[in-house]
């Protein structure tokens, strides 16, 4: 039997500040290959290259990964500011339309960090460029040394930082078998106002939205703010998330056959 295929979105990247490229973090690819059991295939995060209809005919699920770039504020009615750069407007254009297409067609969709934010914006929600600037919020950005450099130890950088309280009886609580989980935190931008069909199912201790689902989606359509791709091979929470995504992807493949 052929393995199901998961499309993993790429991000615009300049090699040596000269050569345009598309980039995907390897941990995302390994999470798909090693935990969902699917074949990860990167697709370009640009509507000039990737045609959504053809893409969804070729894959059984979509993974929207985290990324360095923020969703452009014009997508949710806010003025851009240089300090919130970089942006990846090509990925914005593709990802937001892709979210709607996946949900409409029942194609399994998992959003991580920026992916969760894209899901929210696709359904009319808004984002805040720096969650830590809101009253009472924690600094959710990646840990840095006193020198300002990013912490060199990945185990510390991606270590669990805070709790997330899950909605009792909700999709995530059922998936994880508990109502409080502990997760990592490496983001600046976050959800401000949830979109029309965005159901909030997980919230950090400071009120930051960490887990969502799309209401009335015919297929798997979940998003998380934390980087679940970092360690699903050994972290039971992240493993459960990717396994559930894998089950949905496999079911989608069987239906297509």
Residue 154 to residue 87: CA distance in whole angstroms: 25
Q: Is 252 a catalytic residue?
A: no
Residue 8 to residue 50: CA distance in whole angstroms: 12
Q: What letter does residue 131 receive in the DSSP assignment?
A: G
Q: Are 119 and 71 in contact (CB under 8 A)?
A: no
Residue 241 to residue 199: CA distance in whole angstroms: 17
Longest dimension (CA), the chain: 55
Q: What letter does residue 35 receive in the DSSP assignment?
A: I
Q: Are 144 and 152 in contact (CB under 8 A)?
A: no
Element (H, E) at 116: helix 114-122
Q: What letter does residue 101 receive in the DSSP assignment?
A: H
Residue 99 to residue 119: CA distance in whole angstroms: 6
Block residue for tokens 């194609």? 107
Q: Which residue among the candidates 72, 210, 229, 252 is catalytic per the annotation?
A: 229
The closest alpha carbon to 42, from 6, 2, 89, belongs to: 6
Q: Is 113 a catalytic residue?
A: yes
Q: Which residue among the candidates 84, 128, 140, 227 is catalytic per the annotation?
A: 227
Q: Which residue among the candidates 72, 113, 118, 130 is catalytic per the annotation?
A: 113
**Among all residues, which ones are annotated catalytic?**
113, 227, 229
């Amino acid at each position: 039997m052929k393995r199901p295929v998961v499309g993993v979105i790429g991000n615009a990247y300049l090699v040596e500040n000269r050569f345009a490229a598309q980039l995907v973090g390897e941990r995302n690819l390994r999470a798909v290959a090693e935990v969902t059991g699917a074949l990860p295939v990167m697709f370009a995060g640009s509507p000039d290259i990737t045609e959504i209809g053809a893409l969804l005919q070729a894959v059984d699920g979509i993974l929207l990964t985290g990324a360095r770039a923020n969703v452009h504020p014009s997508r949710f009615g806010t003025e851009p500011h240089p300090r919130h750069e970089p942006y990846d407007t090509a990925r914005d254009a593709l990802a937001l339309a892709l979210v709607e297409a996946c949900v409409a067609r029942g194609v399994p969709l998992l959003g991580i960090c920026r992916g969760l934010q894209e899901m929210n914006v696709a359904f009319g929600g808004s984002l805040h460029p720096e969650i830590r600037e809101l009253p009472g919020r924690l600094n959710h950005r990646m840990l840095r040394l006193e020198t300002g450099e990013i912490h060199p130890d990945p185990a510390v950088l991606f270590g669990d930082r805070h709790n997330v309280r899950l909605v009792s009886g909700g999709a995530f609580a059922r998936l994880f078998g508990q109502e409080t989980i502990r997760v990592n935190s490496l983001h600046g931008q976050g959800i401000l106002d949830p979109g029309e069909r965005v159901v909030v199912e997980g919230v950090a201790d400071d009120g930051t939205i960490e887990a969502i689902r799309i209401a009335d989606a015919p297929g798997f359509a979940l998003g998380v703010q934390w980087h679940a791709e970092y360690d699903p091979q050994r972290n039971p929470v992240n493993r459960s998330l990717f396994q559930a995504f894998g089950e949905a992807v496999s079911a989608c493949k069987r239906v297509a056959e």
